Chain A
Amino acid sequence: MRIRNETDFWSGVMFLVFGLGFAGFAQEFDMGTPQRMGPAYFPTVLGGLLALIGAVVALKALAGRTTEGKMEPFHLGPIAWVLGAVIAFAVLLRPAGLVVSMVVLIAVSSLGSHEFRARDTALLAVGLCLLVLAVFIYGLGLTIPVLPVFLRP
């Protein structure tokens, strides 16, 4: 048995896992009856259907007639830099304030690009900080801490 269509096969596996997961976790609630459906009813039905579809998609990917399909490789670089930068932003926002966390977000996420240039990124950070402060803080009046904790009045 050989996986002829990799993207389809792993999609099927993903659906299967999600379907079984939702249906499984739903079992801790009350099923109810068709007339009075409990909180577990609809998720169980949907989860079961999703698992079924997942199984069919995965099995079809093994069948002989299926068109070949290779997975594109995962590039961990861009996703790690971008999501890492966003997480850093969220962690820093409350204690360090908007300005610091924005600079970190811009600097770290820029490293994900293969054409990173430090000077441009620095200029971008300054420009964006001014724009965001003008539009969101002073213009729209969003309540986001701007300065680090120790500098706040």
Chain B
Amino acid sequence: MELLSNLALGFSTALSLDNLFYAFAGVLIGTLIGVLPGIGPIATLAMLLPITYTLEPTSALIMLAGIYYGAQYGGSTTAILVNLPGESSSVVTCLDGYQMARRGRAGAALGVAAIGSFVAGTFATLLVAAFASPLIELAFKFGPAEYFSLMVLGLIGAVVLASGSLLKAIGMILLGLLLGMVGTDVNSGVARFTFDIPELSDGIGFVAVAMGVFGFAEIIANIEKRGTREVFTSKVGSLLPSWKEAKQAAPAVARGTLLGSVLGILPGGGALLAAFAAYTVEKKVAGANADPPFGQGNVRGVAGPESANNAGAQTSFIPMLTLGIPPNAVMALMIGAMTIHNIQPGPQVMANNPALFWGLIASMWVGNLMLVILNLPLIGLWIQLLKVPYRLLYPAILVFCCIGVYSINNNTFDVYMTVGFAALGYLFYKLRCEPAPLLLGFILGPMMEEHLRRAMLLSRGDPTVFFTRPLSLTLLLMAVALLVIVALPAIRNTRKVAFKEAD
């Protein structure tokens, strides 16, 4: 069994004392930051990226993955206890989780979320391990045309997922692609859009974009809001769900896991889509006589989406690890992190760097286990953290962000760039343009141009190459299908409702 020997290699890497420590530290710090309201996984990852610079690549990626799960889970805790989603995929958890908390079942909601996430994480890790090798075989059949079409599919997927206007989401993607063009053109050596600024010749640093648009802009937006938070601190209660709740939650966890795993693999998919879809499914399955009704604290509304978002978070590593293509903004960040460590993401990683590849996969499961062990006993600590006033939190966040951005190149120019992107991010926030597609476009921009050029060169300038190669055609047809599905009136309305609930 090749899979078993691969997993054995993975676990021997992931279970080394060093890597266990980094996974643990990642999960702990990720949860710590993720619990803070208004900071999602993207901002958390961007902020904590510098901690991993000095580590060796495997440990760095294991730690980053841990940070990601931690942040994801921390977001759910905040959603349940404060009704403030730390990130978009825990928006649905707010709906029923917070209501459960109000009815005194906060503990049960947190417990179900943790157990559901662990089950989903275990399943999804196995799936990643099983799918990795065959998909890499497939990846080697990919030519430039296929890569280009795949990226088109991924970007369309991101558009579909963005809340609000589709056209605006497409605009944000195009803007992201264009920002990715800044810097030296690899084919001709011409410096594009650098305005003779030498620091720009390597392109805009993606940490500056991510941290400015997600981290800083969110902080500024949060300071503006003068809301009071209602935290359920006194009556969290037992973390174990009642028998009735457990019986309701178990099938929801199973459905959420399956759904999330599938949706996570899709380009453009990931935790967010998974959570929304799972909530809709649970609502449908439960029907009209759900007890209690959905939106009033039904445990399935927590179990389904929480399992699904964790499964989706996990399986979205598949396209990233096998094809080197990020399916969502978080994976775009992971790719950025790999590049900082001089690892070119793509199908060759598994062959060249098997310990890193399988170690990362095995560490996913280890990380999930740690999440459960860590979160259930430490829930009191997270609650304390939620009580820290924001006026003390955000200067601390700023300090870590600034040191992080500076230490990428030991250059203050990156800090100024971050300020610029923070201002731009604030503008996006006011104009209600969702920034996640921009980040994805930014990472994909140079790759897309490169593959487009190569495909056109090979086809001697014949653009039909994208439709005549079967794999490429399939990918493009999938993209068209996605667009058509979203444009259908029925889906359009559900989408509106789903994102309305998000507000």
A interface residues (Cβ-Cβ under 8 A, vs B): 7-8, 10-11, 14-15, 18-19, 22, 25-26, 29-30, 33-39, 42-43, 46-47, 49-50, 53-54, 56-57, 60, 69, 71-72, 74-75, 78-79, 82-83, 85-87, 89-91, 93-94, 98, 102, 105-106, 109-110, 112-117, 120-121, 124, 128, 132, 136, 140-144
Contacts and interface: CB of A to CB of B under 8 A. Distances in A.
Given A34-B461, A50-B178, A109-B394, A56 B167 contact: yes
Contacts of A39: 185, 187-188, 190, 192
B167 A14 contact: no
Interface stretch (B97-105, B292-300, B349-357, B422-430): B422-430
B500 interface: no
A66 to B, nearest CB: 11
Interface string B187-217: 1101011000000000000000000000010
B398 A142 contact: no
A46 B168 contact: no
Contacts of A11: 168, 171, 431-433
A57 B192 CA distance: 28
23 contacts: A7-B430, A8-B165, A19-B174, A33-B461, A39-B192, A43-B181, A43-B192, A46-B174, A46-B178, A49-B174, A50-B178, A57-B171, A69-B432, A71-B431, A79-B426, A82-B219, A82-B422, A87-B415, A90-B412, A109-B394, A132-B399, A132-B403, A142-B50
B473 interface: no
A75 B478 CA distance: 43
A78 B220 contact: yes
Q: Interface centre among B50, B178, B223, B399, by most A CB within 10 Å?
A: B399
A102 B399 contact: yes
Contacts, number: 188
A69 B431 CA distance: 10
Q: Interface centre among B171, B400, B430, by most A CB within 10 Å?
A: B171
Contacts of B133: none
B178 A43 contact: yes
Contacts of A91: 412
A53 B403 contact: no
